[in-house]
Chain A
Amino acid sequence: MTRAFAAIVLRDLRLGVRRGGDSLQPVLFFVIALALFPLGVGPAPEVLERIGIGVIWVLALLAVMLSLDRLYQADADDGSLELLALGVLPLELVTLAKAFAHWLSTGLVLTVAAPLLAVLMQVPREAFLPLMLALLLGSPVLTLVGGIGAALLVGARRGSTLLALLILPLYIPVLIFGVGAVEGEVMGLSGRPQLLILGAMLLAALALAPFASAAALRLALE
């Protein structure tokens, strides 16, 4: 089972790299979209600082979501889904492995890149660590919850628009507590309660999302 789990993670990472850096596209989107803000609202530090954390979170959310619509669709299109469904690994763990690979190539990279972009948005330095912590806890939730939507929409035409309509509302709690954790620290309050809530969301998503995704994939296999 461990071998099958590792094989799925490695395969997905390898595919991301082989397809000319497919996996880096969400991160590039994140960087480029963020660079537009100082151009759009002007470089005044007080404005950028005010909106910086919120903008980083919203863009992280969009970057993860944009990269999700091929998560299962590619496997469904080429018949790999049948292979995955007949492996020694239960479909629940298959979805967890795929989510883990997806998070490594998006969420983790976004977390590491966030402080660099925070500089661009004039976010104060003491916010860097809370921002990274919040993204570290929040981004896997985005992947896991979004994975349910991606699994439900296997086979749907115009899936990416529908995916946004379906999962963006579900991302709202992560956004609220993610921004809250960082702003709490900046304003001298503790961001700890919000971080703990993000952690609780992560545990809940880890426990529940694989079952929902696997159920959706079983429907797609029919």
Chain B
Amino acid sequence: MASLLEARDLACLRGGRLVFRDIGFALDPGDALVLRGPNGSGKSSLLRLLAGFLAPAGGELCWSGEPVDADRPAHRARVHYVGHAHGLKTALTARENLSFAADLTGGALAALGPALDTFDLGPLAEVPVRLLSAGQRRRLALARLLAAPRPLWLLDEPGVGLDARSRGKLEATIEGHRAKGGLVALATHGDVAARDPLLLDLGP
């Protein structure tokens, strides 16, 4: 029985420089992968590789035993990616940004209200994003995770800019996703924790 997401001997080259090599892991439903390592050790690159933005320089990535490369559109529809850039349009309101994401990722409009409420954004729904603080923008970017159900969440330092209460909400949201059989891969410097995660140290 193959794991849901399996990586074998992954290697990554950026600009001719070897960022990492021989990375392997296997995730079953409900697992969380926590990536640790100093700046520049390839955490973001690995997440972009898992999202399919970046092709691995070596090795293989499989979903349920099938190579991800064989069916790109199917892989695209599995992934939520929250990176350093929030992907929000500052001229639109919080709700407009979220409903655009739901339209794009095939989410139900009924899920928007609860998604906003989960991250305490209900009262800010009609406020243009340019008036939101960095932490509020981050929370809105995270609310997208709930706008459409997708099994694989890729979070690149999601705790940056969040207060303790919001980090707690994020951790609860991650655990809720795992309880439903979802996968989470998370790059962090220790500000966001997941319950018994699979640790991957990307070090020099």
Contacts and interface: CB of A to CB of B under 8 A. Distances in A.
A131 to B, nearest CB: 34
Contact of A90 (B73, B101, B106): B73
Contacts of B54: 221-222
Interface residues of B, number: 29
Contacts of A83: 81, 87, 101, 104-105, 144
B104 A79 contact: no
Majority secondary structure, A binding face = helix
B50 to A, nearest CB: 12
Contact of B53 (A6, A78, A88, A221): A221
Interface string B85-117: 111111110001000110111100000000000
B83 interface: yes
Contacts of B101: 83
A221 B144 CA distance: 20
A96 to B, nearest CB: 15
A85 B104 CA distance: 10
B84 interface: yes
B80 interface: yes
Nearest to A81: B87
Contacts of A79: 83-88
Contacts of B90: 78
A88 B104 contact: yes
Contact of A18 (B85, B86, B91): B91
B87 A78 contact: yes
A82 B83 contact: yes
- Point out which of B51, B53, B86, B144 has the most chain A C-beta atoms below 10 A from its C-beta: B53
Interface string A66-104: 000000000001111111111111100000000000000
Interface stretch (A7-15, A28-36, A55-63, A158-166): A7-15
Interface size class of A (residues with CB under 8 A): 20 to 34
A80 B103 contact: no
A181 B48 CA distance: 49
Q: Which of B88, B91, B96 has the most CB of A within 10 A?
A: B91
B106 to A, nearest CB: 5
A90 B72 CA distance: 10
B84 A4 contact: no
A81 B81 CA distance: 11
Nearest to B55: A222
Nearest to A1: B106
Given A78-B86, A79-B87, A86 B105 contact: yes
B106 A88 contact: yes
B79 interface: yes
A80 B87 CA distance: 4
Contacts of A85: 53, 76
A19 interface: yes
B77 interface: yes
Interface of A: 3-4, 6-8, 11, 14-15, 18-19, 77-90, 221-222
27 contacts: A4-B106, A6-B103, A7-B104, A15-B92, A78-B86, A78-B87, A78-B90, A79-B87, A80-B88, A82-B53, A82-B83, A82-B85, A82-B87, A83-B87, A83-B105, A85-B53, A85-B76, A86-B51, A86-B80, A86-B81, A87-B76, A87-B105, A88-B77, A88-B104, A221-B54, A222-B54, A222-B55
Given A222-B48, A222-B53, 14 more contacts: A4-B106, A11-B89, A11-B92, A11-B96, A78-B85, A79-B88, A82-B51, A82-B81, A82-B85, A82-B87, A83-B101, A84-B104, A85-B76, A221-B53
